[in-house]
């Protein structure tokens, strides 16, 4: 499961990188080499962040189902799954704290 996720994420990294280089190449050849397409970069970067974040959330949620299906004998698994949910909220709380402080 996590390996798949990791592969997907690294692919995404690669793709974002690729798209960005593409746009870079395109603009660079036709225009001033000192002008960089920051709009595309921003959108790509943000998309990357969103994807990564969603992946993280999915990863946490997936834990539960995984335990339900093929980790029956591991009783503590369930416990941990619940604990994780708590930490998500904790993390959210922590995240909430951060912005005003920045």
Partner 1 sequence: MGNDRSPKKKKGGTKDMDDLKKEVPITEHKMSVEEVCRKFQTDVVQGLTNAKAAEFLLRDGPNALTPPPTTPEWVKFCRQLFGGFSILLWTGAILCFLAYAIQAATEDEPAGDNLYLGIVLTAVVVITGCFSYFQEAKSSKIMESFKNMVPQQALVIREGEKVQINAEEVVAGDLIEVKGGDRIPADIRVTSAHGCKVDNSSLTGESEPQSRSPDCTHDNPLETRNIAFFSTNCVEGTARGIVICTGDRTVMGRIATLTSGLETGKTPIAVEIEHFIHIITGVAVFLGVTFFILAIILGYTWLEAVIFLIGIIVANVPEGLLATVTVCLTLTAKRMAKKNCLVKNLEAVETLGSTSTICSDKTGTLTQNRMTVAHMWFDNQIHEADTTEDQSGAAFDKSSVTWLSLSRVAALCNRAQFKAGQDSVAILKRDVAGDASESALLKCIELSCGSVRMMRDKNKKVAEIPFNSTNKYQLSIHETEDPNDNRYLLVMKGAPERILDRCSTIMLQGKEQPMDEEMKEAFQNAYMELGGLGERVLGFCHLLLPEDQYPKGFAFDTDDVNFQTDNLCFVGLMSMIDPPRAAVPDAVGKCRSAGIKVIMVTGDHPITAKAIAKGVGIISEGNETVEDIAARLNIPVSQVNPRDAKACVIHGSDLKDLSQDQMDDILRNHTEIVFARTSPQQKLIIVEGCQRLGAIVAVTGDGVNDSPALKKADIGVAMGISGSDVSKQAADMILLDDNFASIVTGVEEGRLIFDNLKKSIAYTLTSNIPEITPFLFFIIVNIPLPLGTITILCIDLGTDMVPAISLAYEAAESDIMKRQPRNPSRDKLVNERLISIAYGQIGMIQALGGFFAYFVILAENGFLPSQLVGIRLNWDDRSLNDLEDSYGQQWTYEQRKIVEFTCHTAFFVSIVVVQWADLIICKTRRNSVFQQGMRNKILIFGLFEETALAAFLSYCPGMDVALRMYPLKPTWWFCAFPYSFLIFVYDEARKLILRRNPGGEHTIDRWSTFAQAPHIFHLFLPPVIPSSAKHISRCPAPLKTKSALKQFSSQLPQRLKTAKAPLQLSTSTCPLSPHLL
Q: Kindly tell me which residue out of 7, 30, 38, 89 binds partner 1, with binding defined by CB under 8 A.
A: 38
- How far is Cα 77 from Cα 48, in angstroms, rounded to an integer? 31
Number of residues that bind partner 1 (CB under 8 A): 43
Q: Which of 88, 93, 35, 41 is nearest to 62 (CA)?
A: 88
Residue with Cβ nearer partner 1 (26 or 57): 57
Question: Given CA atoms 17, 18, 23, 25 in this order, what sign does their dihedral have?
Answer: positive
- How far is Cα 49 from Cα 90, in angstroms, rounded to an integer? 20
Binding site for partner 1 (CB under 8 A): 2, 5, 9, 16-17, 20-21, 32, 34-36, 38-39, 41-42, 44-46, 48-50, 52-53, 55-57, 59-60, 63, 79-80, 83-84, 86-87, 90-91, 94, 97-98, 100-102
């Amino acid at each position: 499961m996590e390996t798949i996720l990791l592969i997907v994420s690294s692919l995404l990294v690669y793709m974002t990188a690729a798209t960005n280089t593409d746009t870079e190449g395109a603009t660079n050849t036709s225009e001033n080499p000192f002008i960089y397409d920051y709009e595309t970069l921003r959108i790509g970067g943000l998309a990357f962040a969103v994807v990564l974040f969603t992946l993280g959330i999915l990863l946490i949620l997936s834990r539960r189902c995984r335990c339900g299906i093929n980790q029956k004998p591991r009783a503590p698994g369930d416990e941990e799954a619940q604990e994780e949910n708590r930490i998500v909220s904790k993390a959210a709380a922590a995240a909430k704290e951060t912005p005003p402080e920045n």
